[in-house]
Amino acid sequence: MNDTVLSRARAAWESGATLRARRLRYKRYTFGRQWLDPCLLDNGTVRSEGDYLIENGYTPVTNNVIRQLVKTITGCFRESVAGDALLADTVETDAATFQEFLISGCAIQRIAPSDGLPRIVSPARFFIDRLTAPDGAGAELMGELHDFSLAALVERFSHGSQPHARAARRGGVAVAAVCRFALGVPVYDHRRPCARHRHFPSPSICNVFLSDD
């Protein structure tokens, strides 16, 4: 993968940070964890909204839990396609994708070249450079982020060849150096709304972009 594609992939990944953060928040709300939004206090410490309320004498109340509604709608989908021989191999994959869509508004699959069947792509690992149509027709680059140790990376891409292994090792070090970036987790600061609290990936893992360009 050349530097231009790598840079474009990284830019596409970073542009999806808001979507990924919003998806996690929707998941928490769906399953009743509605008071976990972090907030930055005046003393510089971070608390969840729930802990902050409890510390100030309030009781967080969970309302509008939609988990059961999501499960019911997903079950109705399974029943609607039950017995359809053409969909027999994809029912559970499609049902899980549909459930993801109900929760986060994202439905991402890829077709495996080995058997032609769909595989679920987590929105937490997906990137796309631009999305101008629901079917992604306007995209020029899309792909999925994978985490490999350097040893696993060499094994995956060397195909048993020593020259390929050396090249994969050099490429892996370069990719790790370029792609080891912070995965931002938003923190809601009532003083500075744009403040962010950041987590960094393990130094033993490199982020590898596998893209369809």
Return the amino acid letter for 25. Answer: R
Q: Is 203 helix (H, G, I), strand (E, B) or coil?
A: coil
Higher pLDDT, 187 or 4: 4
Q: What is the pTM of this model?
A: 0.69
> How far from the centroid of its chain's Cα atoms is residue 98's Cα?
16
3-class SS string, 3-46: HHHHHHHHHHHHHCHHHHHHHHHHHHHHCCCCCCCEEECCCCCE
Cα–Cα dist 122/39, whole Å = 27
Is 80 exceeded by the pLDDT of residue 32?
Answer: yes
Cα–Cα dist 71/120, whole Å = 18
> What are φ and ψ of residue 203, in 5° steps?
-65, -15
Model pLDDT for residues 74-126, shown as the tens digit of each residue: 999 999 888 887 787 889 999 999 999 999 999 999 888 888 889 999 999 99
Is 50 exceeded by the pLDDT of residue 189?
Answer: no
